[in-house]
Amino acid sequence: MTQITPSMSTFPFCHTFILPLPKTPFTIIPHTTNPTRSLSPQASTIAVSTTSSPPISPHFNRLNEPWKPKSLNSVKQIHAQMIKSPNGTNPDVKVETLIVRYMKFGDFGSAVTVSFLGLGGYFMVWREFWEEFRGFGGDSVEILEVFVDLYRKGVEFDGGNFGVVIRVCEGLRVHWLGAEVHACLIKKGYEWDVNLMCGLMRYYGNCWGIEYGDKVFDAIPKQEARPWSEAIAISLRSGRHEKVLRLFRDMQHSSVRADNGIVDKVLQACGKLGDVREGKQVHGFVIRSCMYEDLAVGNSLITMYCRAQEIGLARKVFDSMKNYNLCSWNSMISGYSSIGDFDEVWNLFYRMESRNVTPDIVTWNCLVSSHFQRGLYQQVLLILRNMLVAKVKPDSNSITPVIQSAIELKAVRFGKEVHCYVIRNGLEDDEYIGTTLIDMYVKSDLLVKAKAVFDLPKNRSNIIAWNSLIAGYSYKGLFDDALALLRLMKRVGITPDIVTWNTLVSGYSLNGRVKDAAGMMNRMKSAGVNPNVVTWTALITGCAKHGRYEDSLTLFAQMLEEGIQPNLATYLSLLPACAGLSSLQKGREIHGLCIRNGFHEDVAVATGLIDMYVNSGSLECASEVFSRIRHKTVSTWNCMIKGFATYSRGKDGIRLFDQMLQQGLQPDAITFTTLLSACKNSGLVDEGWKYFDMMKEKYGLTPTIVHYSCMVDLLGRAGYLDEAWDFIRTMPLKPDASVWGALLSSSRAHKELELGKIAASHLFELEPYNSANYAMMMNLYSISNRWEDVDRVRDMAFARGVQIKAGWSWVDIDHKVHVFTEEEPHPDLGELYFELYQLMPELKRAGYLPDTECVYQNIDDVEKEKVLLSHPEKLAITYGLIKTRDNSPIRVIKNTRTCSDCHRAAKFISSVRNREILLKDGTRFHHFKQGICSCHDRW
């Protein structure tokens, strides 16, 4: 046996349980059906007769014995009489009754002593005793104390008693006593007792480590199936599924016949591994060994095939079985649930009921969890109702997915009803239900109720509950409450983990307080917790969400420098940052990283790539990414249709929509938003009306204010201003700023002053601090030469503290961004104007006439032409002409809508200099080529 050095701190029992071997050797008593023992004089005072076999009834009888003593003393008196009687018995008192009476009066030591001396090694009877012992409140440690005491007094135990002690040592995780018992067994010659050795295998596997159990197995004879069965069971419990298969093969090579129980365990291991090839071989063994009629084996075959997603084979096994039990039906229902075949799930469920097999909690929980995992949240709630109608009491595994479904459906009222059920049925102490309820109230912005659930004692000991509430406060921006909770958490002895810190970092970041988020990350490091990919991704996401796109990319670079590998969420946060910057080069770099890390095939990443390329001026790359996606979602189609809308390619967007319908996908409200945008940007009025009506009549989608705004914009841009005005007055929703903004923009484009004034009056009330509204109205008044009104609007903006924001444009030259604004001159401004003054005569000879109406200043036309030259988009395009000589497209990004003069100039520049120009103003791209713009002058 392996020599093991004890440690008092690790093994607290090793100094208490010492087994000194007696000076005279014990007589070895084999484990027989009628054991006898010779007792030392010291132990004779507590002896009871064992001349007859112990009763084999499954339970100790507490109620039907005629002898009912009223005190412990009376029990001891009867026991003394039994000892003094000639044969050591009392016809009115059974050994079990004596034991029960001792336990009833709290004398557990005497009860255990009588058990050791009176029950022998019959394990079934001992198991019943142990249940009774614990039921009366006995401490299992006392069994070992009595054993040691009797052993010291010289009592000779048989193998069955030693087996009981080993089992108690295993249950209590008592290390050294079990090892000493093992030593005694070797000295007494019990190393060939298969039952004892199997018990030792379990003991060592659970208390010392699986490798010690293996050593016992290696040392014992293996001519029968029992050791193999135990070794396989231990390996299965410890998750060593490959070892199970190796043991099974070795067993077959040893010519030991595997029984049904062993085959059952081997099939379980195949199922855990998902090794259908090995499972089929075991299935063949089952058929050859005629085990196919065994119910447990059949159920294991079904489970194994289901876990390997071989549902067809599982069904064949199921259909071939002559008998079924509840486990058979549950396994088959679970298999179909795992692949989302709910039609067959419910067919089996109803067939099961028709055969008078009542679904149990496992059946219902399988239905609840599988529907939840597939996003069928409404059905989850219905299943719970049916479950209650069937009078099956839900447990934690039932309630938790139901609450999570209520969260997803935003059905907080239903969630409250479930909470009431939880309280009425005493489930509020379940930590999973508690944390899920906290999560529900947090996500429903009911933080007071979340705090009330959190304050339950059981939840306060659960770090997940602390993290959920801290997250709720953080995401809501209640950082004082979140930090107070963090301090309280430390005071009550719960150490914040990485999730705690990440929720705080994420909360600060998502609320735009990126500097505080970075400070929290430093505090996290000081606390000895290293930031992980979630921490960095939270910072990157916060920056991207609040328009700090360059900071997102900078943080990403720092993250890589620290050796943190990005995950899927990181790339999903970076791509919007690249899209926001319209940085094609950075976007391509992120795309390359996605490919290298294997994320490019994820549909969410691919959709993000499409959006990035669309916003970075490369519709061709967006289309290429789209064409390579195998399983396109509705969001993917929406993103590509939006891309065509952005480039005023409305007919291509409509063609794509038709392809989407042919694929069998159902359009949603966003699909129709992108379609209407495609129509308005391309002047497709009839098509716009068609799709607006279609969403209501064919798909049952109620138009939102966004759809109404698109229709106003569509009609207004096409020149149907009266129709747009009538549409606004008759729409069922109250017009918001987007609707009035669309009308004002159309009024400016078509110089319709009266409608523009109506729209502006509403905008000045709805958005009093939006400078773009004042600028558009000033432009409309200047077109009409109403300079006093221009000054009045300017004064109104000034009185409200609104500053008309200066426009800016930028162009990327050799990976360096050059920004042009009217407020800050560019270092190469002299070179720029020199080029412009040479360019203007070329443009005018080609037919260009400056549009001086774009200048809303009361100056003469000559001065207005000079002002037009300083427009940022003109400067950016000209700089691109100067600095790029390879005829590559010039990509210019502008923060506001481009003026009609710059739009006209860009068309002539593209023709005169034979250069493609991509100009993004706001959310649209203008692609100028050979004097023509993709928008066809509709913008």
User: pLDDT category, 498, cuts 50, 70, 90?
Assistant: very high
**CA–CA dist 587, 543 (Å, integer):** 17
**CA–CA dist 841, 786 (Å, integer):** 31
Question: What pLDDT is attached to residue 87?
Answer: 59
**CA–CA dist 80, 74 (Å, integer):** 10
Q: Which of 418, 421, 454, 448 is nearest to 435 (CA)?
A: 454
Question: Does residue 36 surpass a pLDDT of 60?
Answer: no
- Amino acid found at 83: I
Phi-psi region of 700 (alpha: psi -120 to 50; beta: other; left: phi over 0): left
Q: Which of 675, 586, 651 is nearest to 893 (CA)?
A: 586
Please write the tens of the pLDDT for every residue from 170-201: 777 877 787 788 888 777 777 777 777 888 78
Contacts of 240 (CB under 8 A, 6+ apart): 210
State CA 386 to chain mean position distance: 27
Query: Strands, E, within 859-904: which ranges?
Result: 890-894
126 or 105: which carries more pLDDT confidence?
105
**CA–CA dist 138, 317 (Å, integer):** 47
What letter does residue 90 receive in the DSSP assignment? Answer: B
SS3 category, 676: helix
**Residue that has been written with the tokens 């149990």 in this structure:** 360
Question: What pLDDT is attached to residue 8?
Answer: 31
- Amino acid found at 55: P
Contacts of 287 (CB under 8 A, 6+ apart): none
Question: Does residue 468 surpass a pLDDT of 70?
Answer: yes
**Residue 60 neighbours by CB distance under 10 Å:** 21
Residue 305 contacts residue 314 (beta carbons within 8 Å): yes
Question: What pLDDT is attached to residue 4?
Answer: 32
Range list of H helices, 546-583: 549-561, 568-581
SS3 category, 818: strand
**CA–CA dist 258, 250 (Å, integer):** 11
Question: What pLDDT is attached to residue 39?
Answer: 29
Range list of H helices, 495-632: 498-510, 514-526, 533-545, 549-561, 568-581, 584-596, 603-615, 619-628
Q: From residue 858, give the alpha-carbon distance in Å to each of 798, 854, 863.
A: 19, 12, 10
Nearest 10 degrees: Cα torsion 884, 885, 891, 893: 30
Provide the token pair at 571.
Answer: 């790339």
**CA–CA dist 61, 359 (Å, integer):** 34
Please write the tens of the pLDDT for every residue from 277-309: 888 888 888 888 888 788 888 888 888 888 888
Residue 543 contacts residue 521 (beta carbons within 8 Å): no
Please write the tens of the pLDDT for every residue from 336-392: 998 889 999 999 999 999 988 999 999 999 999 999 998 899 999 999 999 999 999
Question: Does residue 37 surpass a pLDDT of 60?
Answer: no
SS3 category, 751: coil
173 or 94: which carries more pLDDT confidence?
173
What letter does residue 51 receive in the DSSP assignment? Answer: S
Residue 344 contacts residue 314 (beta carbons within 8 Å): no
Please write the tens of the pLDDT for every residue from 14-26: 333 334 333 333 3
Q: Which of 82, 103, 110, 107 is nearest to 94 (CA)?
A: 82
CA angle 571, 512, 535 (to 5 degrees): 45
Tell me the residue length of the chain: 939
**CA–CA dist 140, 99 (Å, integer):** 15
Question: What pLDDT is attached to residue 89?
Answer: 56
**CA–CA dist 111, 90 (Å, integer):** 17
Mean of pLDDT over the chain = 84
In order, the DSSP letters of 895-938 are: SSPPPHHHHHHHHHHHHHTT--EEEEETTEEEEEETTEETTTT-
Q: Which of 644, 589, 651 is nearest to 611 (CA)?
A: 644
858 or 374: which carries more pLDDT confidence?
374
Residue 49 contacts residue 34 (beta carbons within 8 Å): no
